Structure 1
Amino acid sequence: MKPNIIISESPRPIWQIPIAALFFTIATAITIFAFYRLSFNEEGFIAFLHQFKSSLIFIAPGIAFSLRKSIHIDIKNSRFRPTYSVGPLKFGSWQTIKNYQYVSVFHQPTIGGDYIFEVNLWYDNNKHFELYEENDYKEAFLIGYELSEQLNIDLLDATVPNDFKWIDKDEWKAKIASGKID
């Protein structure tokens, strides 16, 4: 068993990096200009705040184009930490899990009529934590399977509404070994 598990979104597409950099550059330029023109009186401070607000307007899409979510699970100490990172900056705090119960994979309809598959970790008698979202059923299921194996807990397939099934993990081991995952 691994002492730590990290579940992470796939990296941002390469075309989003220059767009995020452009928004951050504009926001930085506005902020530098605001500090340059800062005068220490009430009118100067109000003008500074208006320019700083403009800077925040450019920071928001920069963050949207560069934000990445990951989940760190520390099995030994029975805790997890959702982490949001923008470049080298990471934000998140550890939360304790008293007892792992099971991992579920289910599908959620999107606005466009498609489905997104979610992997959740259930713990402490009916609490859950959303770990992963994926458009591909097989990819989401493999993440759920791997996590359930590492934590030595059950796996629930809830992808068909009102027809939830507990997965026979020995059968899935055989499917993975043979490479015949449907």
Structure 2
Amino acid sequence: MEKRPVIISERKRPFWRLILASICFTLAFTYILDFILLVFFDLSFLNHSTPQLISPLYLIGFGVSLSIHQRIYIDIEHSKFRTTKEIGPLKIGRWITIKNYEYVSLFTEKLRDGSTTFSVNLWYDNNCHFSLYSEPYFESALEIAYHLSEELNIDLLDATIAHDFKWIDKEALKAQETTP
């Protein structure tokens, strides 16, 4: 039986960000269309000036930043990983082949603003790692790390406390999941 690829995805974008992105893309398209009409047919429905000719690039940039989404695809059967940046159906990223999975680790990172985020890494090929996921909530990051370690059938390391790394007992976690 062929295994389906594992997909780790950022949280869905809030609906208001998608609306704002679509407004930016629509305005950029309007400016570009008006510019084409002005150049080729000497028609225009906008009053053009230099800042307005540059604004479609800014609008497209804002639209992209509001709608870009990161996903990680893991093809376990072929030992391949791919990190993608996605905007709608457009996916940018390349496959990387990994041979020897070692373990999944969960650790904390301090951000510039002083807050903490929990990150999940996949360690492979003697001390190489693949950054998979960051999450401000421990439980969500642990869930991602646990399910990935189960899918790959490898160990899970809790490195959230500096210099006090512990291997997580996945059987105990599994028992907690099934307990109501």
Counting matched residue pairs gives 171
**138-147 vs 159-168, which deviates more?**
159-168
> Does the residue aligned with 1:103 lie in a helix, a strand or coil?
strand
What is the distance in 1 between the residues matched to 2:127 and 2:34? 52
Residue in 2 that maps onto 1:122: 123
Deviation at residue 38 of structure 1 after TM alignment: 3.4
What is the distance in 1 between the residues matched to 2:78 and 2:143? 24
What's the C-alpha RMSD, in Å, of the aligned pairs?
2.1
TM-score for the superposition, normalised by structure 1? 0.86
> Does the residue aligned with 1:77 lie in a helix, a strand or coil?
coil
Residue in 2 that maps onto 1:26: 27
Query: What do residues 121-179 of structure 1 show as CA deviations (whole Å, max 9, x unaligned)?
Result: 11122111111111110110011000001001111101111111111111211122225
Residue in 1 that maps onto 2:110: 109
What is the distance in 2 between the residues matched to 1:77 and 1:177? 31
Q: Does 1:156 align with 2:157?
A: yes
Q: Does 1:84 align with 2:85?
A: yes
Query: What do residues 22-75 of structure 1 show as CA deviations (whole Å, max 9, x unaligned)?
Result: 111121122222323337xxxxxxxxx987643221111111111111111000
Identity of aligned residues (%): 47
**160-169 vs 170-179, which deviates more?**
170-179
TM-score for the superposition, normalised by structure 2? 0.87
Query: What do residues 65-102 of structure 1 show as CA deviations (whole Å, max 9, x unaligned)?
Result: 11111111000000011111112222222111121111
Q: Which runs of 5+ in 1 are unaligned?
A: 40-48
Q: Which runs of 5+ in 2 are unaligned?
A: 41-49
What is the distance in 2 between the residues matched to 1:123 and 1:36? 55
Q: Which amino acid aligns with 1:163?
A: D
Q: Give 4+ residue runs of structure 1 displaced > 6 Å after superposition.
A: 49-52
Counting only pairs closer than 5 Å after superposition, residues 141-180 of structure 1 correspond to structure 2 as 141-179=142-180
Q: Which amino acid aligns with 2:146?
A: Y
